[in-house]
Structure 1
């Protein structure tokens, strides 16, 4: 979990930079820098998503270094392929994946985002289905996992709907897509911390307090 915490910090810094440098999107002189920053920020957040999904699908037996290694290998392969494809479309074909403007609808761009959101929605939907099927016991029993999957399924389904509308020229679709993007970048990382890491550190703190209590008890501080 500490390794995942380190990744969360790194992606948080990238996301903070992405949010702070929004003006670069409208500056043609910094278009390449904006695309690179957006590419690594989106890929970093996708890495966190895929890591959690890969961990969930390993079932209740996922623990220890072996499970962590397997999770990071799966996540690295998926995100590496994602970066490669996006880089080809960005810098090879000039598809403005991370720039939204008033130009006519770019069907290739929104088609790619539809495929991207469709895959994520399908994965989260499949895990939700598992929670309500006979395979439920293969997933962690903690309610936090189920709540996380439900939130991510709804967010990606909404983003998928927005991309489909925008690709067909509906102005409302672009507005809805921007809302989902803002929610994703503003609340996803805090959601990860509150859902998973907060309990992890509280458990460590509680364990540490028990150790201190035992040491003080052995030293005779609590004798009547």
Structure 2
């Protein structure tokens, strides 16, 4: 299936729509089913003593997961005449939600002053919210104001503005993850939470962001491999990131009914100052 859209300068950009999105649909549906299967037990655990931080992240995870599911089911819109605006809106909201999760988690890792759970939640929400708002506003201006196809795969012609924007975006993310890794291996290591799983997450996201950055750079100079690699990383991101985040940061909290008393994960996080007495 192929179609075309008219760019801001009157040129026609060919969009090559293949069947790659099947894996994204299957993985998104399976993750929603998994969250649904665990929902009753997880909600009971949160009601019995959940931190405001974990409750907020769990709710946000559900919202972003449903947005991602809708995006995966409606990917044909990017190649359907008349559906460009709803596709871009859906993609923009989904990308903003996933970016908010990424930024807020990094803000938690870099916050070395945890007074209590509510203060930590408010601080990280403000920081992440400002960054994501600016990012979303800039993307919206370029997509809806200048017609840059940020969320359309396999643009046939070399669209320098699109790739330049993604290069800057991925460079900033890679730099943020790289900075956390630098701090982790420096003399300031004690300022970060003592949880090895966090740094496995950061390391994987740093490598992933670097690969996407490379793909955008190669695609920007007109190499077809760059387009393929970028499409593949987008597939992986929308298929695997949310389950990866759940397993890394939330799954341990829902392993047992008395997790808030006995779970080692909670103990380490509490020692780092993440949570206050509302867990007791």
Q: Same fold (TM over 0.5)?
A: yes
Q: How far 1:202 sits from its partner (Å)?
A: 2.5
**Which is helix-richer, 1 or 2?**
1
Q: Following the alignment from structure 2 to structure 1, what is the Cα–Cα distance between the partners of residues 261 and 124?
A: 28
Q: For residue 76 of structure 2, what is the aligned residue in structure 1? A: 23
Structure showing greater relative contact order (alpha-carbon pairs closer than 8 Å, 6 or more residues apart): 2
Q: How far 1:209 sits from its partner (Å)?
A: 9.1
TM-score, normalised on structure 2? 0.72
Which of 107, 114, 120 is matched with 2:173 structurally? Answer: 120
Q: For residue 194 of structure 1, what is the aligned residue in structure 2? A: 247
- Give the paired residue count: 210
Contact 2:104–2:128 (Cα < 8 Å) also in 1: yes
Higher alpha-carbon deviation: 127-136 or 196-205: 196-205
Q: For residue 155 of structure 1, what is the aligned residue in structure 2? A: 208
Q: How far 1:8 sits from its partner (Å)?
A: 0.6
List, as ranges, runs of 4+ consecutive aligned residues in structure 1 with deviation greater than 6 Å.
none
Q: Following the alignment from structure 1 to structure 2, what is the Cα–Cα distance between the partners of residues 117 and 143?
A: 24
Q: Following the alignment from structure 1 to structure 2, what is the Cα–Cα distance between the partners of residues 147 and 209?
A: 24
Q: For residue 136 of structure 2, what is the aligned residue in structure 1? A: 83
Higher alpha-carbon deviation: 173-182 or 62-71: 62-71
- 1:132 corresponds to 2:185: yes
- Say what the alpha-carbon RMSD is for the aligned residues: 1.7
Q: Following the alignment from structure 1 to structure 2, what is the Cα–Cα distance between the partners of residues 43 and 101?
A: 21
Q: For residue 218 of structure 1, what is the aligned residue in structure 2? A: none
Determine helix, strand or coil for the equivalent of 1:29. Answer: coil
Task: Render the CA deviation track for 1:109-155: whole Å, top value 9, x for unaligned.
Answer: 00000000000000000101111100111111111100110010011
TM-score, normalised on structure 1? 0.90
Structure-to-structure mapping, 1:44-83, within 5 angstroms: 44-59=97-112, 61=114, 63-83=116-136
**Larger Rg computed on CA atoms:** 1
Change (3 A) 1:28 1:144: same
Q: How far 1:200 sits from its partner (Å)?
A: 1.7
